[in-house]
A = this chain, B = another copy of it.
Amino acid sequence: MNYQTVLEEIKEEIRPYLNKGTVANYIPALANVAEDDFAMSIIEIDGSEHHIGSYKKPFSIQSISKVFTFTLALDIYGKDLYKRVGHEPSGNPFNSLIQLEYEKGIPRNPFINAGAIVTTDSLVSKYKENTFSTLLEFIKKVSNDENIAFNKEIFKSELESGYRNFALINMMKSFNNIENHTQEVIETYFKQCSIMMNTKQLTKSMLYLANHGVIPNTNSEIITQAQAKRINAVMLTCGHYDASGDFAFHVGLPGKSGVGGGIVAVVPQKMAICVYSPRLNKHGNSLVGTKALELFTTKTRLSIF
């Protein structure tokens, strides 16, 4: 199948949706983007690349960073990680604090904020003050691109307005599920959210998940095959917050979205995909990104179902 043609068709078909939805504006730094921007990249395991739109323009990856920290923590701790963070969907967002209380500070999965904060805390326990640099090195390695950094302005804004995340980390600390200083963990967490990448880099960075844990062109094993499958499973069931079921239902691929407008997706044993468009639907996921991926699996029949 000619994926470049598919990308071009998708670009046409999503056009009527480009002015729908709303860019995240809880911090000014995030709102400051070209609202109708669009980019999409496909990279196959064999190395073939297909891109469309502004695929070289970096954006804030936000929660997509949770895939990287989950990978690193799973590599370090193996199944022990699940003592501190589960792998079940979380139900609606209203319940996040209730469940944290009810389940004694153990977040449901590593892709909700509480779970990602615990995951980052587990990295801080291992890498101390080098945690963020280690994470950044890892991302550069799986992206095969040295040119990746975080945005200081976004980081500072997040830190200044992240009261709800401070509430979450303090609640988990009260249940002894945070091992390090809350300030240190939360700063690392907001730094990882502020990393800037483009769709090409993000797509490349997901190939190890499409390829049983191994970076295809370098044959470098990042995690085991079993672990790669499990990360995919958690992306499918938990990757889109309260719309995870909807994403599985309409797109049918493991994926992870970020409030910056990016979505990554994995076609196991075939390819990785990334789409970017900053306006969000009511669930906080890229509206056009979700639509583009739905069109992609409809056209290519690559849904895993």
Contact = CB atoms under 8 A, between A and B. Distances in A.
Interface stretch (A36-44, A55-63, A64-72, A98-106): A98-106
A245 B108 CA distance: 10
Contacts of A94: 101-102
A132 interface: no
Contact of A101 (B97, B234, B249): B97
A244 B237 contact: yes
Interface of A: 86-92, 94-95, 97-99, 101-103, 108-109, 163-164, 166-168, 170-171, 173-174, 182, 228-230, 232-234, 236-238, 242-246, 248-249, 252, 254, 268, 303-305
29 contacts: A86-B245, A88-B243, A89-B91, A89-B237, A89-B244, A89-B245, A90-B91, A91-B92, A94-B101, A94-B102, A95-B95, A95-B98, A97-B98, A98-B98, A108-B245, A109-B245, A163-B170, A163-B174, A163-B182, A167-B171, A167-B174, A170-B170, A230-B305, A234-B248, A234-B249, A236-B248, A237-B237, A237-B245, A254-B305
